[in-house]
Structure 1
């Protein structure tokens, strides 16, 4: 039992009811597969591989590698810490109709708030800020799309996803103060 219980909003409940009514097994299978793209273990492995590869590169890429690994590690720990403070029943535990339509159970029953997947995606979307417009918007669209899968599989209420995304973006921005990401052109010229 955690310290605080978070209740879903009426809007959250309306969205979950709509998903439960309108989904089907195929949509759920696709969404379950896609949601792995925001899984902490996969993202940690990718960040670690990127960090290793960045070690032989110039200062901007080494700094980006350091930043990515630190963000991935803290974004993995932060939701687990918050879930010790907050309890919220997952929407997939509150539907029978959804299960008939193919929705399966996600994670621990009371661990809806915040969405860890969305926290990672918020951090990724924020970290994409210094990139050129094309890649930046592609990464941000991917991040939002992966967040939506958490609502489609009823693993989280919409507000959990929004909160997780915002927390991830805030975490990434705060860590910039420590890691120095992105490297400024004046910093690069000094090396």
Structure 2
């Protein structure tokens, strides 16, 4: 029993650090998104976007065979894939007895998709005219970056939370970032679109996760 106060202090310290880190990331994502809207729609600056396109063009010129691989990679955050994954993964998790985890993945994808369309409709930014492949819709923020990060970020969090293969959680996050970069490589999005998509996706994930924790905590108490 004499160790109980020390354990409580250690637990409180951990929770304080966790809340501070998550809160800091949440605030940082919101500020980054706000900053990008100022850069794109108020300052009308294209310096970063042009620089990013130049880097990707140089990469494509140096490695022409990379383009088919990039085109294949970008599929893993496309609408057809997200529809299948957004429904298939939750169903699979539910059948395996992970009802809450399945719901979390579904809400992460569906919520990010809805929020992305609302943001695109609000900002009304046209896609780059130099796109290597035809892509319908508006540009800001990138749906591939935002919804892709929501999906793979949610899966990464679930793996990390259950302490199963944390290395896979890191790889999933890197995969989401790589998919976002493919959009700049293909010129279907500006770099600011992708950065804003990452920020909005991270913002939504933290908001969703916080809301679910509160809801399920109240549910357990009833």
TM bucket by the smaller chain? 0.7 to 0.9
Three-state SS of the structure 2 residue aligned to 1:23 is helix
Instruction: Say which of 56, 80, 86 aligns to 2:95.
Output: 56
Instruction: Say which of 159, 168, 175 aligns to 1:135.
Output: 168
Tell me by how many angstroms 1:50 deviates.
1.9
Aligned residue pairs total 170
Instruction: Say which of 70, 75, 80 aligns to 2:112.
Output: 75
TM-score (norm 1): 0.76
Q: Which runs of 4+ in 1 moved over 6 A?
A: none
The answer (yes or no) to whether the contact 2:142–2:193 under 8 Å persists in 1 is yes
Q: CA RMSD in A?
A: 2.7
Three-state SS of the structure 2 residue aligned to 1:151 is helix
1:18–1:142 distance in 2 versus 1, CA, 3 Å: closer
Distance in 2 between residues matched to 1:106 and 1:26, nearest whole Å = 21
Aligned to 1:9: 46
Aligned to 1:160: 193
Aligned to 1:118: 145
1:23–1:144 distance in 2 versus 1, CA, 3 Å: same
Aligned to 2:134: 105
Confirm whether residue 89 of structure 1 aligns to residue 126 of structure 2.
yes
Tell me by how many angstroms 1:174 deviates.
0.9
Instruction: Say which of 192, 200, 209 aligns to 1:176.
Output: 209
Tell me by how many angstroms 1:22 deviates.
4.8
1:138–1:18 distance in 2 versus 1, CA, 3 Å: closer
Tell me by how many angstroms 1:171 deviates.
0.6
Q: Unaligned 5+ residue runs, structure 1?
A: none
TM-score (norm 2): 0.66
**Which structure has more helix as a fraction of its residues?**
2
Tell me by how many angstroms 1:8 deviates.
5.0
